[in-house]
Structure 1
Amino acid sequence: MTDSQRPIPTTLQEFADGDESDLNVVAPWTGPAVDPETGLLREPLRGRHLIATSVGWPKPGHEPVAIQLNEAILEELYVRPGLLAVSLAISENNFNSTRSLSIWEDEAALRGFMKSEPHMVAARRVKELMFDWEGAHWISEETTVLPTFEESRARLAAVRDPGPSAFASPGE
């Protein structure tokens, strides 16, 4: 059954519970902390760093605008001071859910990226372009293992507000 034939979830929890068995890593781990040949850490991370994750479910028909905004965000992200590593994944099964997972030196580095012009321009349009979206970040002291999208789903579930989403219902 295609997305156009399935009912669109009406809550963030329903989107989050969607089938992502086909999650496809479209951008493997990359960044200054990652060896480009192996995709593994070049060396252990310093003891305390920040991990950030986000996921969104894009509305169909907005792909050209979303692609343009994402290209600008990625150009900024890949050169952003304090970024250690980033990976991106998509699940067609779950309404094209788009996941990001990144490692930052600290919260100030993440906040700097979040306040950058490309990120702010996209953030202002997220309700227009996405059925729903969520994000979280946490401190980690894991120095030798990269976080996983499975872990990011669990972290998001742990902090997800059980109430209604801040997004407008898909029918609006």
Structure 2
Amino acid sequence: MTTETGIDPAARPVPTTVEEFAACDEADLEIVVPWTGPAIDPATNSLKEPLPHTYVVATSGGWPRPGAIEVATELNRVLLEDLWGREGLLAATFAISQKCWMSSRALAVWADEESLQRFLTSEGHMNAVRKTKNLAYAWEGTRWVSSSPVLPTFDEVRARLAEHRERKKK
């Protein structure tokens, strides 16, 4: 499969570590679901009102194995139905980089840690995590508390995940 960028990810050697996958330049990162959720005005795709003074940002990303896209898409559909109904979710967005072995990125803003934790430990999320282990080459995630008045970006996500990987090494 040749991507829109003219690069065939299958023609390159597949990385063996999260660090190697993450080193890929996701310049082609495409937002596939723009910011959506209770805090977002769908007409303007912007915040309805200022974010809380502090909130939790959670992110995850992974690199699906060939042939896993259809199964992963169905898992995501079920998971997103659950996510959008979760109390405490403020907003979420999702992106994919075709060039970087179809890397997928999720970014969500939660009112508090408890709301995020209820989602992460829900049956639907735990089921998706168990199944994803067999569908992805690698997966990573992290979270942090923010007081920024603006929504986080995928550039910030990459920096936070790099910091997280460095902390895990130590």
TM norm structure 2: 0.92
1:14-29 matches, within 5 Å, as 14-29=20-35
Checking the alignment, whether the CA contact within 8 Å between 1:33 and 1:42 is kept in structure 2 is: yes
Q: Does 1:89 align with 2:95?
A: yes
Checking the alignment, whether the CA contact within 8 Å between 2:72 and 2:132 is kept in structure 1 is: no
Displacement, 1:63? 2.1
Checking the alignment, whether the CA contact within 8 Å between 2:34 and 2:45 is kept in structure 1 is: yes
* Residue 130 of structure 2: aligned partner: 124
Could you say if the C-alpha distance between residues 163 and 106 of structure 1 is closer, same or farther in structure 2, counting changes exceeding 3 Å?
A: closer
Displacement, 1:126? 2.0
Checking the alignment, whether the CA contact within 8 Å between 1:29 and 1:85 is kept in structure 2 is: yes
SS at match of 1:21: coil
Structure 2 CA distance, aligned partners of 1:54 and 1:63? Answer: 17
Across the aligned residues of Structure 1 and Structure 2, the Cα RMSD in angstroms comes to: 1.4
* Residue 64 of structure 2: aligned partner: 58
Q: Does 1:149 align with 2:164?
A: no
* Residue 3 of structure 2: aligned partner: none
Equivalent position to 1:38, from 31, 35, 44:
44
Structure 1: segments with no counterpart, 5+ residues = 165-172
Equivalent position to 2:53, from 30, 40, 47:
47
SS at match of 1:77: helix
TM norm structure 1: 0.91
Structure 2 CA distance, aligned partners of 1:127 and 1:146? Answer: 29
Structure 2 CA distance, aligned partners of 1:97 and 1:139? Answer: 24
Structure 1 CA distance, aligned partners of 2:76 and 2:123? Answer: 12
Aligned residues: 163
Structure with greater helix share of residues: 2
Could you say if the C-alpha distance between residues 4 and 162 of structure 1 is closer, same or farther in structure 2, counting changes exceeding 3 Å?
A: farther
SS at match of 1:93: coil
Q: Read off the aligned partner of 1:23 and give its amino acid letter.
A: L
Checking the alignment, whether the CA contact within 8 Å between 1:52 and 1:137 is kept in structure 2 is: yes
Structure 2: segments with no counterpart, 5+ residues = 1-6
Task: Render the CA deviation track for 1:17-68: whole Å, top value 9, x for unaligned.
Answer: 1121100000000111111111111111110110011110000112222122
Task: Render the CA deviation track for 1:74-132: whole Å, top value 9, x for unaligned.
Answer: 00001111000000000000000000110001111011111112211111122200000
SS at match of 1:90: strand
